Amino acid sequence: NLSKELVGKKVVVTAGGTQERIDPVRFIGNDSSGKMGYAVARAFLARGAEVTLISGPTKLTPPNNVKFISIESAAELQDQVIKNFATSDILVMAAAVADFKPVKQSKQKIKKDPTNDRWTLELTKNPDILQAVAKIKRLNQVTVGFAAETTDLINHATKKLCEKSLDLVVANDVSQPGVGFNVDTNQVTFISSDKTVESTELLTKSEIAELLVDKVIKKTAKSNSI
């Protein structure tokens, strides 16, 4: 019996990992299962929001009642985020976006070279989606990023909060058991643009998602009263 504080609010949630094509049968990917982002989408639905879920390839079934957009690469994700963010109130980026992609995508399957035991794949930087979003963000829009770290969690996550002009960053130390990629639980530290820092216990991803939505509701209430 959650109250429907977010009726009339539009939310974009990204989930899963991007895949960067090398050739027709190979890609660069990561361990994101989509579980965290899908839990966030469900938690926003439970509060009455209108949810667009933009997802990389996962084994999950999208929740009913979301507008579902499927993407593969970071470039496709960026296009869809920018397109949908313009008319949205809230963006939560739980997706694990590849930082690099192959410079060239081969149209044919790349063959082994029998004369060489080594093969070098040249990569180039992907755009930072949240930094692009920061440039078009209006005052009353709320943006939330995740930070997946293995060392110095708070410092690295705080840097991301600033660089990406976020209202909230959800930092997870993915080197810890039961935390981060491809598990049903998570343990996070919420770092807010108002400088508050709050760590949770190890909880289910649904519970983490509910806490995240509570924090976003407080922020939308503030930005509406300006």
Helix (H/G/I), strand (E/B), else coil: 138: coil
Number of neighbouring beta carbons within 10 Å of residue 21: 16
Task: Provide the minimum distance between the beta carbon of 225 and ligand PMT in the complex, in angstroms, as a whole number.
Answer: 27
Residue 6 is a binding residue for ligand PMT (CB under 6 A): no
Alpha helix ranges (H) inside 105-179: 129-136, 153-163
Which residue lies nearer to ligand PMT by CB, 6 or 212?
A: 212
Interface residues for ligand PMT in 61-90 (CB under 6 A)?
74
The span of 110-118, 121-129, 135-143, 218-226 binding ligand PMT (CB under 6 A) equals 121-129
1, 30, 65, 140: the active-site residue: 30
30 is catalytic: yes
Q: What stretches of the chain adopt beta strand conformation (E)?
A: 10-15, 20-23, 26-28, 50-55, 67-70, 90-93, 100-102, 123-125, 142-149, 168-173, 185-186, 188-192, 197-199, 203-204
Site string for ligand PMT, 151-170 (x = CB under 6 A): ---------x----------
**104 — phi, psi (to 5°)?**
-120, 140
Which residue lies nearer to ligand PMT by CB, 3 or 176?
A: 176
Which residue lies nearer to ligand PMT by CB, 10 or 35?
A: 35
Residue 90 token pair:
């809230």
**Residue 129 annotated as lining a ligand binding site:** yes
Give the binding site for ligand PMT (CB under 6 A): 16, 32-37, 74, 93-97, 99, 126, 128-130, 145-148, 160, 172, 174, 180-182
